[in-house]
Amino acid sequence: MNPVADDGEIWSERGAFDDDAYELIDLEAEDETAGVEGTVELRPTRDELNERLDKYVAAQIPDFSRGHIQRLIDDGRVLVDGVPRRRTFKVTPGEVVTVSVPAPVLVPLEPEAIPLDVLYEDEDVLVLDKPAGMVVHPAPGHPRGTLVNALLYHAPGIAVGGSNRPGIVHRLDKDTSGLMVVAKSDRGRTALVDQWSRHSVEKGYVALVRGLVEPDMATVDVPIGRDPKDRQRMAAIATGRNAMSHLVVREWFPDAGATLLDVDIETGRTHQIRVHLAFIGHPVVGDPIYNRASGPLGGTKSIAPRQFLHAARLAFDLPGGERVSFASPLPLDLQETLSRLSIAEGTDSWGERS
């Protein structure tokens, strides 16, 4: 079934959808790692045929590094049809991969001299451009090298309210790049938390998706919650929390069958944009979790080196009341992806991604 927008404008839980189908995670969203602890069952699909066990599991539980997954395999915590396997074991559709994830062990937060691209800073807040590949705060498999470690070095007094995630009031996925605001003081944190609660923070993204999105402006109003069948994923489900995303087409690539979108979100549920776009049948190119296809516009072996999602616009009020706004251009890797896509227009070959 091809989903259509109600009245040509709004996709919603009231629309006629078949749901056959991790971005911004703010204070309203549950901790993404909360659903990972315990036993996780994974079921390889045809697209994952003959993938190495460690690579497959790491892609399915992206909060954990591949090294951490390899240690779980070596410790016998990853079973295939109930049997421990080596890291190099090749998975096959129909098998059940069971991962026993131990409870996370809290580690002391340590400052690290990691460069930050700071766009604005005062005594209360800091705005930065996060690169793809950087984890926001320490988690299992990522004890160091995170944004929090960098912030503690850059601003030693940033430990706000005794939090173990100093300054963090919202997050971006590891492989999502772009703008973030961090609280440096209790005053700054209070102001930001209040604005998130009132949905007055403006958050805009750029996404490349599979398929031609129509109409050229639409709203997706569909609740999001933890997928009851797959606890490391989120899903569009009636029992979830309300979530709203506004889509505007920036450019169509008709020959390639792709669309470049501007996406503004009113809420900040875990994986909101990725889930909403997959729900309407236009998943993010390069998204290994919610884009089930392979090939140039799929979630694996795609034209993009990572999920094509970038936090490009951010606006909020400083604690003193002044409204500020920031913009971040597409990073080089995503610019190069669009260049390859443009070259592919009107041709029969996508070429090879380096």
Catalytic residue list:
173
264, with CB counted inside 10 A (0-12, 13-18, 19+), is: middle
Long-range own/partner contacts, residues 160-166 (CB < 8 A, 24 or more apart): 160/184, 160/185, 160/186, 160/188, 160/189, 161/186, 161/189, 164/106, 164/109, 165/136, 165/137, 166/109
191, with CB counted inside 10 A (0-12, 13-18, 19+), is: buried
3-state secondary structure of 230: coil
Compute CA distances 143 → 67, 201, 218, 306, whole Å: 12, 30, 40, 22
User: Cα 128 vs. chain centroid, distance in angstroms?
Assistant: 17
Task: Tell which residue, 15, 3, 9, 5, has the closest CA to residue 223.
Answer: 15
Query: Using an 8 Å Cβ cutoff, are 58 and 48 in contact?
Result: no
The dihedral through the CA atoms of 265, 271, 273, 279 has a sign that is: negative
